[in-house]
Structure 1
Amino acid sequence: MAMARPEEIGAEAVKELATERSGAPITNILIIIAMQTEAIPLVNKFQLSEDTDQSLFPKGVPWVRYHGTYKDLHVNLIWPGKDLVFGVDSVGTVSASLVTYSSIQALKPDLIINAGTAGGFRAKGACVGDVYLVSDVAFHDRRIPIPVFDMYGIGARQALFTPNIIKELNLKVGKLSTGDSLDMTPQDEASILANDATVKDMEGAAVAYVADLFSVPAIFIKAVTDIVDGEKPTAEEFIKNLLAVTAALDKAVSQVIDFISAKCLSHL
């Protein structure tokens, strides 16, 4: 189904579009995932093929598309690729925003899944290896202390409400806070507490912002690699646990996609 640009449709048309989509079976899923380590197991699980046609995205970008059919679903997995200068995964909100925008334009998904690893907060009950289905997203590092601009900076949004997925798969539910740094400054900590977040990442709220622009429903699946308010250094714990936690993440994503098959949005 072709998506109109936001500036081309009014509020009532957006509501009609959402209603139309919610009653039709989901057929086209877009997975946005930031790191190759997180992406490859899902590529193998769903037997996706790497797209060799470079015309889908703007010339010169390192983004990688994997695609294929799983059950009755067209699955597109987009990984932002390796930074052209430094050769590391293109993590963070800038790459996530650009990839999400271009992918929505090119692929017209019925549903976006942003999957990835995240830091968790012990004070909120998070443990390494836990997988969360996110209820709400917000930014914690866009501090604009001017009325209304402050709320814009936080950018709070709700993820797609999926009570049946939560019940069926017994996933934990928590709020997500997004920022462009792996560490946490005292200012970030105060903002994350204000966001009531259980997990923090570097992409989710950016994906949510773009998805919201185009009225594309989005869900967020985040697996905890490190305890932000624990004793161990975040970077050290993240690297140590990445592979094991990615396995838990990919299992959860697979279960969610199995559940989505043959259903419409209103049944999630």
Structure 2
Amino acid sequence: MAPPEEESSGLKETMDSDPDTRPISTIVIIIAMRTEALPLVNKFQLKEDLNPVFPIGVPWVRYCGTYKDLNISIIWPGKDANLGVDSVGTISASLVTYASVLALQPDLIINAGTAGGFKVKGASIGDIFLASDVAFHDRRIPIPVFDLYGVGLREAFPTPNLLKTLNLKVGKLSTGDSLDTSTQDEASINSNDATIKDMEGAAVAYVADLLKVPAIFVKAVSDIVDGDKPTGMEFLQNLLAVTAALDQAVMEVVNFINGRCLSEL
């Protein structure tokens, strides 16, 4: 049996290494679009990583630096090599999340971005939501149990103190790989009881759950899905203004996180 002082020392090391009780030190922020990412890069005074931790040849971009007591990395999936547009959608989101967790070992993942909102659920342009649950709405597998796997419902990491302090809205997030909403998608979104919809969240949640990293989802409403304007037009019309609101919200979230441990969120 180890001497009492060694036992005590070992216990202290275990307590100090407990992620629930030590201050959060490393955050990875996953953002799908460059337009959404760059204002935050400037706010946190981050620099592009010129010696990337990712495989050679992938378009993924990491901006990193220190803000207050936090090591922050903003990960943008980059542009499609063939078409030159942002690499949006679930495939890019899951890949960069997986690679980021392996390379950076974050204490917390923040998936930030714009989202469509449903006015019937109380969403308005510019609203900031913290997702309570995330699920897919376009993975339809009509076989018992496989249907549940397709939906992939997962809870976001609970942050009651953050919600109370910042007075953010809460809603369920539904994810699919299409910007528009088909009749089948609409039925699935209603089944998910979603207030907001995006193209990345549930994919990030899947990887975070797989690798056991807490994840939260900060979404700003850029278009009203059940409104009378075409989704694409409304999204582009509101993108810059809504991104400014998103960036302010993410800054407030990060300021709240600084100096706190997971159990205090």
Deviations 1:144-191, CA, capped at 9 Å, x for gaps: 000110000000000010001110000000000000000000000000
Which structure's CA Rg is the greater one?
2
| Percent identity of equivalent pairs | 71
Does residue 1:165 correspond to 2:175, yes or no?
A: no
3-state SS of paired residue (1:88): coil
* 36, 39, 42: which one aligns with 1:38: 36
* 210, 223, 227: which one aligns with 1:226: 223
Match of 1:31, as an amino acid?
I
Which residue number corresponds to residue 26 of structure 2? 28
Size of the aligned set, in residue pairs, is: 251
Match of 2:239, as an amino acid?
L
Cα distance between partner residues in 2 of 1:32 and 1:20: 24
Tell me the CA shift for residue 59 of structure 1.
1.2
Cα distance between partner residues in 1 of 2:245 and 2:132: 19
Does residue 1:179 correspond to 2:156, yes or no?
A: no
* 247, 250, 263: which one aligns with 1:250: 247
Deviations 1:218-248, CA, capped at 9 Å, x for gaps: 0000000000000000000000000000000
Cα distance between partner residues in 2 of 1:161 and 1:20: 17
Runs of 4+ in 1 over 3 A off after TM superposition: none
Could you state the TM-score of these two structures normalised by the residue count of structure 2? 0.93
Cα distance between partner residues in 2 of 1:22 and 1:88: 39
* 58, 62, 66: which one aligns with 1:61: 58
Which residue number corresponds to residue 77 of structure 2? 80
Long gaps (5+) in structure 2 = 1-13
Does residue 1:52 correspond to 2:15, yes or no?
A: no
3-state SS of paired residue (1:191): helix
Q: What's the Cα RMSD here? A: 1.2
Match of 1:90, as an amino acid?
S
Match of 1:138, as an amino acid?
A
3-state SS of paired residue (1:115): strand
Could you state the TM-score of these two structures normalised by the residue count of structure 1? 0.92
Tell me the CA shift for residue 20 of structure 1.
2.1
Does residue 1:101 correspond to 2:125, yes or no?
A: no
Cα distance between partner residues in 2 of 1:58 and 1:123: 44
Cα distance between partner residues in 2 of 1:57 and 1:256: 27
Match of 1:136, as an amino acid?
D
Task: Tell which deviates more after alignment, 132-141 or 19-28.
Answer: 19-28
